[in-house]
Amino acid sequence: MSAEIDWAALRSAAIEAMETAYAPYSNFPVGVAALVDDGRIVTGCNVENASYGVGLCAECGLVSELARTGGGKLIAFDCVDGKENTLMPCGRCRQLLYEFSAPGMLLNTVSGIKTIDEVLPDAFGPRNLEEYRG
């Protein structure tokens, strides 16, 4: 699947999203981009808040954009900081991505391309519930 992914286009979209981040408190803008199984690219950026705990991670914006524009499953993901360096999503955001991932979703990580199952091993998600209800 990695050969089909235009990682440069994803990186460019993530950088563009990062440039719109609202990060006046941490001065740490983050942008993300993901390829959807129908060919769309969805993006998100972090949005901070003076009440720190209610700030939104870039991944939250991305999955909201995914839902808003028709849903689907994420097949590839990239995340950058304000210096355009690759970032690894935190555990909470990995779980958020897992919820909307296609099996074998690829992530560009600080240690290379990895699958969602490699970055969140033994994860619990919608597929577990489907099997249980099955």
Cα separation of 21 and 26, whole Å? 11
Task: Write down the catalytic residue from 19, 59, 99, 118.
Answer: 59
Q: How far apart are CA 63 and CA 92, in angstroms?
A: 13
Pairing of strands 101-109, 74-81: parallel
Measured between alpha carbons, how far is 93 from 46 in angstroms, rounded to an integer? 12
> Residue 59 catalytic?
yes
Half-sphere exposure of 31 (CA within 13 A, CB side): 20
Judge whether 45 and 18 are in contact, CB under 8 Å: yes
Q: Which residues are catalytic?
A: 59
